[in-house]
Amino acid sequence: MTEPDYLALRQGMLADIAAKTISDSAWLGKAALDPRVMDAMARVPRHEFVLLELRPFAYEDRPLPSGFDKTISQPFIVAVMTDLLALQPTDRVLEIGTGLGYQTAILASLARQVYSIEIIEELALQARQRLARQGHTNVALRIGDGSHGWPEHAPFDKVMVTAAPDLIPAALIYQLKPGGKMVLPAGLPDAQQLMLVEKDPDGALSTREIFPVRFSLLEDAESG
């Protein structure tokens, strides 16, 4: 496939996201996502962040295998999770679960600095190469247990978790700045909800369930 082919498919992906946002507006509380998020989705080439044999399917609105029993999230979920963070150009973002780096690239397009942690070394090395090829120089990537966060660079304006814990890890709550937001899937495997966690200026937490989701489980160093 040629770059114009991929561009046409990417435009179709944006239309799918816009239509799904309207259909899920009751859950989301709005019928359109932030234009900055949609622009980032338009600019980042998803086909550069999927396995080579899956490139023809890169812009379909569905998750795709990334190896190691993991998946790259469907574009609609990537867009919604990014939108919920309400990213600002000055934000420092912690991402747990780099995968092959697609969500990382979207975050890097919208924030000042992204700190991303991936527990599977092979995925982390691939993501580092893919992000470098796309010119994302504002990403620091570490191999390790994401449930502990990255305390050396805390606190963070925003936190995104792309794998599901049963309960929100305390370290991630602690490393979120007052006034910050965290978005993550959480809950038991058959009852996961996409969650928005907000910490007010005084440090008090509030949580909101967005809609049901199904994500890979958040691994720790002992189980993973």
Question: What residues does each domain of the chain span?
Answer: 3-212
Nearest CA to 181 among 158, 156, 154?
158
Tell me, what amino acid is at 130?
R
The rounded distance, in Å, linking the Cα atoms of 139 and 163 is 19
Active site amino acids: 73
The rounded distance, in Å, linking the Cα atoms of 114 and 200 is 22
The rounded distance, in Å, linking the Cα atoms of 210 and 192 is 11
Contact in structure between 111 and 89 (CB atoms under 8 Å): yes
pLDDT in the model for residue 31: 97
pLDDT in the model for residue 136: 96
- Does 106 have pLDDT greater than 60? yes
Superfamily for domain range 3-212: Vaccinia Virus protein VP39 (3.40.50.150)
Residue-wise pLDDT for 81-98, tens only, equals 999 999 999 999 999 999
pLDDT in the model for residue 1: 85
Contact in structure between 124 and 104 (CB atoms under 8 Å): no
Q: Which DSSP state fits 53? A: G
Tell me, what amino acid is at 83?
D
- Does 219 have pLDDT greater than 80? no
* pLDDT band of 221, cuts 50, 70, 90: very low
* Higher per-residue pLDDT: 68 or 41: 41
